Amino acid sequence: MVARNLAKVQVAGSNPVVRSLRTSSTDAGREQERKSKVGWPRGEAQDCKSCYTGSNPVPTSLKNPYAFLMQGSPHTLALDIGATKIAFALIDSDCEVLSRGAISSQGNDDLWAVLSHSLKEFAPADTSHIGIATAGPIDLRAGSISPVNIAQWRNFEIVKNISQLFPNATVRMIGDCTALALAEHSIGAGKGFSNLLGVVVSTGIGGGLVINGKVLEGESGNAGLIGHHTIAFDSDRLCVCGRTGCLEEFARGPKMVQTAHRLGWVGGEDFQSLAASAEVGDQLAKTAIELGARALAVGLVNAMMITDVHTVVIGGGVSFAGEVYLAPLRAHLKKEAELSGFLNDIKILPATLGADAGLIGAAIFAQQ
């Protein structure tokens, strides 16, 4: 029997980093991993109301079809830049996470100083491939990012800065939801589908596209930014982006909670509580979730009609609620899709890679 070892290592610096070192696992362990992905994510994810981050492990039984592309280097350094944290990991050619770390993306006066210090300590100096998955918006042409929730990074030239840190490395950047789509297409729920839309529903809504087996980046790297297309342009709902009636304003987790409060639900302040109420039959909670799911269905079918993509992989904290959310979503998708005349075989599949999808997608992209 091969044991799975989990070692935690504190890395020096002003912002503590915790690394967990994984070795291989048994089949029984893998089965346990698979089961652990059913329902709400375990551990730290239960404390995270804001995103799909969590401790869902990578299913090690799934091998990377792009492994042949990665045989030249022992590992890839992957980063996942999010609203609350920046995760980084060394990932091997089978998409195994060998070691990992993270810093907070909030509360650091000089975020780059903290990140660069941590990466220098974390990754080997001869790292040859680096992939960055990041919250948007991004500008691929400039190699810069302006994540909505990281105020000090506006047009921040992340690619140039990382390249200076690791001068021998090839550095590639991709949107975080595009990274999720690529990872799920390669080794996750979307394996075998040439075309898919990856969507994350949590405090916000993001998306990314794989078309004919390759990621669709678009002109600036923001293809698939589904959360900020409007589904109600006459609405009085002003989105944080400045437009009115964006999909996010109706379908993201906190908005469903807001809807529930308007209906008179008093069961809590977060989507997890709302889903729990719906699970035990609370009609107000069920109605609020149904309205959010219907809005998402409209948005998804809009995107599917434009792209002629028939498969959606859904991740994010909201999707972890399971059938109480997915069942109404599926029903409304079917209804909306039927009217299109050609979306008669659509599929919506729960993501399987959990919080590591961004890191894995970034690593695969870096090696392509």
246 is a contact residue toward Zn ion (CB under 5 A): yes
Q: How far is the CB of 12 from Zn ion (least distance, A)?
A: 40
Cα separation of 203 and 221, whole Å? 22
3-state secondary structure of 273: helix
For residue 192, the tally of other CB atoms under 10 A from its CB is 9
The count of chain residues that interact with Zn ion, using the rule CB under 5 A, is 5
Q: Which is nearer to Zn ion, 185 or 252 (CB)?
A: 252
Site for Zn ion contains 228 (CB under 5 A): yes
- With respect to Zn ion, which residue has the nearer C-beta, 125 or 148? 148
Q: Please select the residue that binds Zn ion; options are 11, 67, 232, 239, rule is CB under 5 A.
A: 239
Q: Which long-range contacts (CB under 8 A, 24 or more apart) does 163-167 make?
A: 165/116, 165/119, 165/120, 166/77, 166/119, 166/123, 166/125, 166/127, 166/130
Angle at 106 between CA 56 and CA 77, to 5 degrees: 50
Question: 78 or 205: whose CB is closer to Zn ion?
Answer: 205
Cβ proximity to Zn ion, 142 vs 241, nearer residue: 241
CA distance 311 to 294: 17
Q: Using the rule CB under 5 A, is 22 a contact of Zn ion?
A: no
> Toward Zn ion, which CB reaches closer, 30 or 243?
243
Cα–Cα distance measured from residue 213 to residue 134, given in angstroms and rounded to the nearest whole number: 21
Instruction: Give the chain's end-to-end CA distance (angstroms, integer).
Output: 35
| Smallest separation (angstroms) from Zn ion to the CB of 28 | 45
Of 19-27, 171-179, 240-248, 292-300, the window that binds Zn ion (rule: CB under 5 A) is: 240-248
Lookup result for tokens 């959990």: 354
> By CB neighbour count within 10 A (0-12 exposed, 13-18 middle, 19+ buried), where does 76 fall?
buried
Measured CA to CA, the distance from residue 199 to residue 315 in angstroms comes to 6
Q: Which is nearer to Zn ion, 125 or 151 (CB)?
A: 151
- Residue 204 CB, nearest approach to Zn ion (Å): 9
Stretch that binds Zn ion, among 126-134, 154-162, 186-194, 220-228 (CB under 5 A): 220-228
Contacts of residue 191, defined as CB under 8 A and 6 or more positions apart, other chains included, come to 62, 65, 184, 185
Alpha-carbon gap, residue 107 to 149, rounded angstroms: 12
The yes or no reply on residue 232 touching Zn ion (CB under 5 A) is: no
Q: Minimum distance from CB of 154 to Zn ion (Å)?
A: 18
Q: Smallest gap, in angstroms, from Cβ of residue 280 to Zn ion?
A: 33
CB of 246 to Zn ion, least distance (A): 3
Task: Confirm or reject binding of residue 241 to Zn ion (CB under 5 A).
Answer: yes
Find the part of the chain contacting Zn ion (CB under 5 A) among 23-31, 189-197, 228-236, 271-279.
Answer: 228-236
Return the beta strands (E) in 143-184 as ranges: 144-145, 170-175
Minimum CB distance to Zn ion smaller for 229 or for 310: 229
The answer to whether the CB of 53 falls within 8 A of the CB of 45 is: yes
Nearer to Zn ion, 49 or 243 (CB): 243
Residue 272 and residue 49 in contact, taking contact as beta carbons nearer than 8 Å:
yes
Segment lying near Zn ion (by CB under 5 A), choices 36-44, 193-201, 237-245, 272-280: 237-245
Least distance from Zn ion to the Cβ atom of residue 241, Å: 3
CB of 239 to Zn ion, least distance (A): 3
Closer CB to Zn ion, residue 228 or residue 286?
A: 228
How would you classify the pairing of strands 76-81 and 85-91? Answer: antiparallel
State which residue, 296 or 363, has the beta carbon closest to Zn ion.
Answer: 296
In the complex, the smallest distance separating the C-beta of residue 271 from Zn ion, rounded to whole angstroms, is 19
What region does 308 belong to: left with phi over 0, alpha with psi -120 to 50, or beta?
left
- Name the minimum Å distance from CB 251 to Zn ion: 12
The footprint of Zn ion (CB under 5 A) covers: 228, 239, 241, 243, 246
